[in-house]
Amino acid sequence: MLTAFARAFKTPDLRKKLLFTLGIMVLFRLGAHVPVPGVDYRNVQTCLDESKSGQGLFGLVNMFSGGALLQITIFALGIMPYITASIILQLLTVVIPRLEALKKEGQAGQTKITQYTRYLTVALAVLQGTGLVATARSGALFGSCHVGNQIVPNQSIFTTITMVVTMTAGTCLIMWLGELITDRGIGNGMSILMFTSIAAGFPSALWGIKLQGKLMGGWLEFSLVILCGLAMVGLVVFVEQAQRRIPVQYAKRMIGRRSYGGTSTYIPLKVNQAGVIPVIFASSLLYIPALLVQFTGSKAGWATWVQSNLVKGDHPVYIVTYFLLIVFFAFFYVAISFNPEEVADNMKKYGGFIPGIRAGRPTAEYLSYVLNRITWPGSLYLGLIALVPTVALVTLNANQNFPFGGTSILIIVGVGLETVKQIESQLQQRNYEGFLR
């Protein structure tokens, strides 16, 4: 991998793309430290030092924003509104025939769906920004912080609107920066920015584990976490690269005097076909009851049960519910994102067939059978990876933003692998040695 990066920097046009991408990443991190107008930055830092309770409830969004959420900066919402909008549009594509027709129109339809995603991102940014400002004004953002209700000293309507508009504009700027990376840089822009946000929290999280450690000045715990992280990265790379290749044979066709087809290929079905989406769905769903209790301030029986069982990440009820939700959403997302009948119809249309399987409905049933079989290990793998922060919380007394676990490690490794593949593919396009020999 290091050789690929060294060769990339020796290639002029690739070097420009890499430097452009790094420049956008630096600009993105600078924006994550610029406070929103109307926020008392000193009180925010005081609350961050005093209380960690907010990180348990808002940990997912805070991780995707690179820590900007709890600092209430112009990039506080991060990339989360765009991710949510993309997932919503992807789910609606299965339900709304108009969106499904746009998806089948190729590049023109995809451009229209991207435009809808941008509009929905702005709407979600306004909604999430309003919720964040309301939470900060009420003092609930940092839990028991003694200056929590002084985060926004001036609580006038004008100040509130200014804060919401600023954070919405920050989300739109992030969306534009991501598209710039996609067009002029290397890799998928939104994924690169997500990678940057998560990786930015690694140094402080690792150093925090060292400071909390008790054996050999914390260095033993620090070393164990590093070894655990390397092992997890290896496991994630192994599973993410694993795939079930279903052979496909295309029959020969005579068109005029030329024959077409007669080739052999395969359908690659990944073991983790759903990616990180089930973990995000399960985390978001488990946050809803805790958010309702926090906003309503209810002391009823259900609220007490939620506070006791679904807020603490190390509670058995939380662990079992989290694991089962991940497994469920893994099957759910695979079912809506991969249509065996559509794949079978396309194969039949172009004269393709799976050896030993009849074209049409038998092919669709076979694909569905194989997909269900490989989704089981993929969903169990996602559930186990997502529970690593809980194990760290109990054994190492680490916080819930444990660096090598759950969503963070899946995104870091997935984006890293995809970016390296793109760099290597562009290097191969510029290497003509094999043709000149």
At 272-302, the pLDDT tens digits run: 888 888 888 887 787 777 777 766 666 777 7
Q: Say how many CA atoms lie within 13 Å of 341 toward its Cβ.
A: 3
What residue type is 166 in one-letter code?
T
pLDDT value of position 387:
81
pLDDT band at residue 206 using 50, 70 and 90 as cut-offs:
confident
Query: Which residues, in sequence order, are CB contacts of 220 under 8 Å at separation 6+?
Result: 213
pLDDT value of position 24:
92
Stated pTM of the model: 0.79
- Please report the domains of the chain, with CATH numbers, ordered by start residue: 16-200 (1.10.3370.10), 203-437 (1.10.3370.10)
pLDDT value of position 168:
93
Task: At 87, list the tokens.
Answer: 């997932």
16-25, 154-163, 216-225, 398-407: least confident range: 398-407
146 pLDDT above the threshold of 70: no
434 pLDDT above the threshold of 50: no
pLDDT band at residue 95 using 50, 70 and 90 as cut-offs:
confident
Exposure string of 130-151, with b = 16+ CB inside 10 Å and e = fewer, is bebbebbbbbbbbbebeebbbb
pLDDT value of position 290:
73
pLDDT value of position 173:
93
181 pLDDT above the threshold of 50: yes
Q: Determine the Cα–Cα distance for residues 300 and 291; give it in Å rounded to an integer.
A: 15
Mean pLDDT (the chain) is 80
339 pLDDT above the threshold of 50: yes
* Edge-to-edge strand list for the sheet holding 264-270: 264-270, 243-250, 352-353
Q: Of 117, 159, 375, 113, whose CA–CA distance to 269 is shortest?
A: 375
Residues counted in the chain: 437
pLDDT value of position 384:
85
Cβ pair 263, 393 in contact under 8 A: no
165 pLDDT above the threshold of 90: yes
41 pLDDT above the threshold of 60: yes
pLDDT value of position 344:
87
pLDDT value of position 180:
92
Where is mean pLDDT largest: 102-111, 386-395, 426-435? 102-111
Query: Which residues, in sequence order, are CB contacts of 276 under 8 Å at separation 6+?
Result: 382, 407, 410, 411, 414
pLDDT band at residue 402 using 50, 70 and 90 as cut-offs:
low
Classify residue 151 by its DSSP letter.
Answer: S
Task: At 65, list the tokens.
Answer: 């924003």
